[in-house]
Structure 1
Amino acid sequence: MSSHDEYSSDEEDLFDESQKSDVFLGFVDAPITEEEVPTIEDTFIGGQPIWLHPQSQPNEKSLTCDNCNKKMALLLQAFAPMDGKLYDRVIYIFGCKDTRQCSKKKGSIKAIRGIVKDQETIDKIKKETEALQAKQLDEKLKADNQKKLNIELTKDLFGKKEESSNPFGGGSNPFDNKNDNPFAAGSTSPFGANPFGAKAEEEPKKKPESYAKIASKNEPKKAPKKKTVSDLPSYKGSFVYVDTEKFKKATNDPELEKYKHLIDMDVNKDDDSESVGASRRGSSSVLDPQTSKISNMLDDKYFEAFSNTVKHNPGQVLRYNLGGKPLLYNGKDDVAKKFLSQQPANIPQPAYNPSSERQYELQLMPKAIMDLEEINTNTVQISDILNGMSWGTIIVATDKEDYMPEQEFDENHVAYIEEWCGVQWEESV
């Protein structure tokens, strides 16, 4: 389901505009075909990776499973430019396809950050930035001028009755009011004010729309200069469309109304009652092992919050919120503990930049498994699920400074480096 289906204009009244979110969501939009191929400015799942230069690839170890030593397949390629940076930036997630042998093992899923700092890219971004700033300034000047014009046209509509009706007297003199003189200071004339003067500088900066301008406004796909050749195994490829997260009105969905307290709750707080937890543990301990594992998963407030948040946008395959918090699939594993134990999160510092720290950037959502493995919900077999990928979410955290060691750059001004990747796996049943 594409974002166009997810956020259909016919269903806009189903969403609660009062609930704001800093999260950007990705939805499967269209299949990758021989005619429609992605570029580095696209975000997509599956298929073959598009490198930042056809002759520049990550080192072989970064693309190889640490367990079986087989090449891994692309799960996600996310175009992730950063505001104010004069370079293109991409996040890749790769996973081992040998799920029987390598599932739930460290090193079977990896994340790579890549950047390109060639002069052509720098010049292109500079030009785009300058054009955007000029457009925003032009729109602001037009809006200001229109506002002043409206004030001039309406200011005398409700004037005092005792004012003189003499067309040449008092306030009715068209040349008596300085504000009506198109050549006076402060006039609405486009020549009366310097757009680069003090007033323009005093205006508060508009909060960026990003993740960098919603992934560069999901630009129409352009033919790559040269097709990247890759020998990696692959899943079905699909373009991903990015949009801001919206929440459905709880009153329109009895299930969401029922669990509204779980969506609004602060999941970082402990349960108010120890006796409740003891009661839950006692009731689950008498169950058989398989039922107990399922019960424990359902008895996890983080999993409940995850499920009920996803219900608002069930088609999401990607969540992006640089510097924010991930939506945890459970609150019990080592990945959860890293984000819950302290603030900022207890994520390993980047070895290549030890004075810095990492921050959450994005996560891949379980709906992506269905799209990557082409699982049809109408004909899904239990064997399809058991033999396929078994993660709940894949969380990627990147260096806050977005630093890249100079020695990593090659002759094409491209560099790749592995970033922290935390996988929350499905519980075995």
Structure 2
Amino acid sequence: MSSDDGYQSDSDMSVDSPSVGGKTSVLLGYPDEPADETASALDTRIGGVPIWLNPSSPPSANLAKCKACKSLMTLLLQAYAALEGTLYERVIYVFACKNAACRRRAGSVRAFRGIMRDQDKMQAVADQQKKEKERRKMKAGAGAGMTAMVEQSRSQQVDIGNMLFGDGFGDGARAFGDGAHAAEVSGNSPATLLDDVEQVSESLQRTKIDITHRLDAAINHQTPLEPWPPAEELESYKSWFLCVESEYLTNKTADQNINQRIEILEAGTSGHGNDGPDEWSALPESSSNIDKVFQNFADTVSDNPEQVVRYERKGSPLLYSKTDEIGKLLINKNAGHYQNNLIPHCELCGSVRVFELQLMPYMIQILEEDSGIDIFNGMEWGTIIVATCKNDCVPSIIDKNGVGYQDEWVGVQWEETK
């Protein structure tokens, strides 16, 4: 890529191409079990009330206020989404206004990103640097003794990598992220292995210095923040932990009738009732009036109809429509496909934003089924797309606890109206 302005995701692709079978790079979130008092800021949940990275460091309540009616909105999603190679925790919050008069109005759905400097991770890097410095003094060793030392270094390096970056997100996890993996060293000879260890060590030190400088530079005099009401006074939906699994798709052809997909959706069971996703019951009988983008959306969702979140940072969103405001914004008219650089850029650093996650319509049924809300008066979006700064830049204010929050971009594709 030549510049941020020309940045395109490796996943930029035709938005109406049929699904290809097999495992994809997307992580899916499914309702798992009701969230309870054990929930923490680093659990991925839908519904409930927000849990802040530090109880003493809430964001300004203004970040979660509807831009239309100015009232405090309701939490839809809190997603733990740590990034590889960073020394801070990271969470995405998504809120929506429950005021019926605000539906389809700009600013009635908002998202922000929270980060918290992780002192334990930073100390782990410092400790590892000290150990590596001591090992370099032993470089004059040779033979089996040297090989054993390098193998020990390899093992310890993997341990520190796991400590810093996590050990990935497998089936059944409750977190989203880049699929963070421990740093690896390679090569056959002891000298090569040790050189690699030194390179990784130096890289970790540069990361520590860079992140420390970025966070320290962002700490400034705290401006007055709009306070939040007590948690017990916040309006909320029932909260569910999410189980995170990789997406698997079956092979489909472009000319398959959309009604086959709808039948699968309607037949799906959630474990929270015997009815399938209600949002699909009003779809037309014929596919003749359904555009290819929506057909691809329905085809893809039909393989995993109980998904409530799709996560693929720097990937491509599954668009609900190409004819609405968001579809027209994100699809390059000449190339005919989605491009990240069409998303409004980060207001803080000017970098492009990249797709991070999207909320799926089955979430509406899960959140509203026990809320007493009439389905005709409830939420009516097709998908909610969240994009974040490609550089994951530091929020404008980091407080004394190393915590900061930053508003991010949301694109809502509403249900079609007849």
Q: Is 2:394 aligned against 1:365?
A: no
Instruction: Name 1:349's counterpart in structure 2.
Output: 345
Q: Is 2:174 aligned against 1:218?
A: yes
Q: Is the 8 A contact 2:64 2:73 kept in 1?
A: yes
Report the secondary structure of 2:342's partner residue: coil
Instruction: Name 1:408's counterpart in structure 2.
Output: 397
Q: Is 2:407 aligned against 1:418?
A: yes
CA distance in 1, matches of 2:85, 2:38: 28
- Report which stretch shifted further, 37-46 or 311-320: 37-46
Q: Is the 8 A contact 1:80 1:211 kept in 2?
A: no
Q: Is the 8 A contact 1:293 1:428 kept in 2?
A: no
Q: Is the 8 A contact 1:79 1:215 kept in 2?
A: no
Instruction: Name 1:387's counterpart in structure 2.
Output: 377
Per-residue deviation, 1:69: 1.7
CA distance in 2, matches of 1:315, 1:126: 41
Instruction: Name 1:106's counterpart in structure 2.
Output: 106
Q: Is the 8 A contact 1:297 1:303 kept in 2?
A: no
Per-residue deviation, 1:234: 0.6
Q: Is the 8 A contact 1:348 1:420 kept in 2?
A: yes
TM-score, normalization by structure 2: 0.63
Structure-to-structure mapping, 1:24-423, within 5 angstroms: 24-33=27-36, 36-98=37-99, 100-117=100-117, 121-124=118-121, 127=124, 194-195=150-151, 213-214=169-170, 217-218=173-174, 229-230=230-231, 231-248=233-250, 298-341=289-332, 343-354=339-350, 356-374=351-369, 384-405=374-395, 407-423=396-412
**In the superposition, relative to structure 1, how do residues 246 and 61 fare at CA in structure 2: closer, same or farther (>3 Å)?**
same
**In the superposition, relative to structure 1, how do residues 297 and 49 fare at CA in structure 2: closer, same or farther (>3 Å)?**
farther
CA distance in 2, matches of 1:400, 1:85: 14
CA deviation profile, 1:44-100 (whole Å, cap 9, x unmatched):
0000101111122221221111112211000000000001101000000000111x2
Q: Is the 8 A contact 2:49 2:75 kept in 1?
A: yes
Q: Is the 8 A contact 2:28 2:247 kept in 1?
A: yes
TM-score, normalization by structure 1: 0.61
Per-residue deviation, 1:247: 2.0
CA distance in 2, matches of 1:32, 1:216: 15
CA distance in 1, matches of 2:302, 2:167: 23
Q: Is the 8 A contact 1:80 1:215 kept in 2?
A: no
Letter matched to residue 88 of structure 1: E
Instruction: Name 1:277's counterpart in structure 2.
Output: none
CA deviation profile, 1:402-423 (whole Å, cap 9, x unmatched):
0024x41112211111100000
Larger Rg: 1
Instruction: Name 1:158's counterpart in structure 2.
Output: none
Report the secondary structure of 1:246's partner residue: strand
Per-residue deviation, 1:344: 3.6
Letter matched to residue 345 of structure 2: Q
CA distance in 2, matches of 1:102, 1:40: 29
Q: Is the 8 A contact 2:174 2:241 kept in 1?
A: no
CA deviation profile, 1:334-362 (whole Å, cap 9, x unmatched):
211222126344111111111x1100000
Per-residue deviation, 1:190: 10
Per-residue deviation, 1:195: 2.3
Instruction: Name 1:427's counterpart in structure 2.
Output: 416
CA distance in 1, matches of 2:235, 2:345: 31
Q: Is the 8 A contact 1:293 1:427 kept in 2?
A: no
Q: Is the 8 A contact 1:44 1:237 kept in 2?
A: yes
Matched residue count: 302
Report the secondary structure of 1:371's partner residue: helix
Q: Is the 8 A contact 1:116 1:414 kept in 2?
A: yes
Instruction: Name 1:136's counterpart in structure 2.
Output: none
Report the secondary structure of 1:409's partner residue: coil
Q: Is the 8 A contact 1:236 1:374 kept in 2?
A: no
CA deviation profile, 1:18-41 (whole Å, cap 9, x unmatched):
6231000000000123xx431122
Letter matched to residue 310 of structure 2: R
Q: Is the 8 A contact 1:87 1:116 kept in 2?
A: yes
Per-residue deviation, 1:240: 0.6
Q: Is the 8 A contact 2:95 2:111 kept in 1?
A: yes
Report the secondary structure of 1:316's partner residue: coil
Q: Is the 8 A contact 2:44 2:242 kept in 1?
A: yes
Q: Is the 8 A contact 2:293 2:320 kept in 1?
A: yes
Q: Specify every segment of 5 or more residues in structure 1 that has no aligned partner in the other structure, as ranges.
A: 1-15, 132-183, 220-227, 260-290
Q: Is the 8 A contact 1:81 1:212 kept in 2?
A: no
CA deviation profile, 1:294-317 (whole Å, cap 9, x unmatched):
979942111110001011101100
Report the secondary structure of 2:407's partner residue: strand
Q: Is the 8 A contact 1:297 1:330 kept in 2?
A: no
CA distance in 2, matches of 1:396, 1:69: 21
**In the superposition, relative to structure 1, how do residues 299 and 216 fare at CA in structure 2: closer, same or farther (>3 Å)?**
closer
Instruction: Name 1:7's counterpart in structure 2.
Output: none
Q: Specify every segment of 5 or more residues in structure 2 that has no aligned partner in the other structure, as ranges.
A: 1-18, 129-141, 176-228, 262-281, 333-337
Report the secondary structure of 1:302's partner residue: helix
